[in-house]
Amino acid sequence: MPDIAMLSDTPVNWRGDLLRFRRYVDPLVSVITNPRTETPFTIGIYGAWGSGKSTLLEMVDERLLDRHGDAFIRVRFNPWVHRREPEMLLPLLNALHDELNQDPRRRFADTVKRLSAIMLNLAADEMLKRLSLGTMSVEKIVKVAHQYAEIRGQVDSQTGRLRGLLQREADLLAAQGKKLVFFVDDLDRCEPDQIIDVLESIKLFLDLKHVFVLIALAKDVVDRGVSVKYQPFGFPAAEHALIGDDYLDKMIQLPLHLYPLGPTEVGAFIRASQPGELARRHAATLEKSVAPNPRKIKRVLNLLRVTEAIIAGTPGLAGLRTDLVVRLVVLRVQAPELFADVVRQPELLVALELVYQERLVADVLQGFQTRFRTRAERVQTLTRTYHGKHDFLAPLFADSGFEASDAELPAYLTMIGG
């Protein structure tokens, strides 16, 4: 049985920081801990899916705990976990409530009690709104209506006072030498309208003195949320990104964009993550073709480790060219739609190789007819569909040898999941 270690998507700590995220951490911690930093202060961590935003939040949280644990109350909030909630204010308050309630010295008992009362009323309001009145008697409907009106008034009143309450409690905490830091993660996994609801709740209730908020964001996802939320206003689609910029500018004082990884950093990550013999042997190919995204790098390396074990345990596969295996694994992870068409039409690999190596012109049918005969038109259509669609395809096919292994391509594809 081979010893196969997998790489997890779980955010890493300082010991697992293979991509030097600590270069962001100390500046951010310095901003948060500097007594001259004015609050409220919101930091946006911008990055694509899988770029390491969660890791960065985790490392900032860890550094604050290790070096400034007595100066901050750190609240973690993951709106995606609460995506079934009708609105996000209740779980956001609950995250604060739970963190304050964990204090072993019970220093925040009064705040916890007041938050509990407001949360109870908010929860009752949501429960009453969901009641089905179809099976109720007239008398009960009247009673419920009175109940709802009474609680609705309490909710409106308490919600209106909530910001003031939170500010008073933040002032009391600051007098004890403590500030609040909220970490909001996985926001871009929520539905578009929920993303805006969370941002609006944060702006309305957490835009307070002595309060810091760190939000992990994918800008394009926020733009989609803005377009959905404000679609009734009839803004042109071309302006949605500008509206998203303006929307975020009003609530984020420090927009931090994660630097894209370069080939050197990708290569260093691969070599430092104990990737297995197959990845080590073809690290140069991976450096050029793997997307500069930590999550995708891990997926490629995990699939390579398993594929390597399958090859080792199957005598009939011993003669496969490992460089082609590596390229197909990258293709499988990073362009599943292209890989699916390759499985149905393996000649597409050869065609893309010939086009990227400038031995075939994608728009000239004659070359395809000479090479692929009766399948020429189909292969050309697919080639034109994918040529230039993904940046990583040019380095992937630049020095590949799929044409030389044309007859064995079905065996490669079957092994990798075709």
| CATH 3.40.50-classified regions of the chain | 20-257
Compute CA distances 79 → 84, 198, 278, whole Å. 10, 7, 39
Predicted pLDDT at 176: 86
Q: Would you call 312 helix, strand, or coil by DSSP?
A: helix
Banded model confidence at residue 128, pLDDT cuts 50, 70, 90: very low
Q: What is the mean pLDDT of residues 188-214?
A: 88
Banded model confidence at residue 116, pLDDT cuts 50, 70, 90: confident
Predicted pLDDT at 122: 65
Cβ-count burial of 13 within 10 angstroms (0-12 exposed, 13-18 middle, 19+ buried)?
A: exposed
DSSP state of 238: G
DSSP β-bridge partners for residue 42: 213
Q: How many whole angstroms from its chain centre is CA 395?
A: 26
Q: What is the mean pLDDT of residues 260-279?
A: 83
Q: What is the mean pLDDT of residues 176-184?
A: 93
CA distance 128 to 63: 43
Of 16 and 130, the structure prediction assigns the larger pLDDT to 16
Query: pTM of the prediction?
Result: 0.75
CA distance 163 to 60: 26
Range with the poorest average pLDDT among 21-35, 187-201, 293-307: 187-201
Name the CATH code of domain 20-257 (choices 3.40.50, 3.30.2320, 1.10.3470, 2.60.40). 3.40.50
Strand duo 72-77 + 41-46: pairing: unpaired
pLDDT digits (tens, 9 = 90+) for 399-415: 999 999 999 999 899 88
CA distance 344 to 410: 10
Predicted pLDDT at 292: 85
Predicted pLDDT at 141: 44
Predicted pLDDT at 164: 84
Banded model confidence at residue 93, pLDDT cuts 50, 70, 90: confident
Q: Which residue has the tokens 């109720």?
A: 136
Residue 343 has pLDDT above 60, yes or no: yes
Please, what is the average pLDDT of the chain? 84
Q: Which residue has the tokens 């209106």?
A: 160
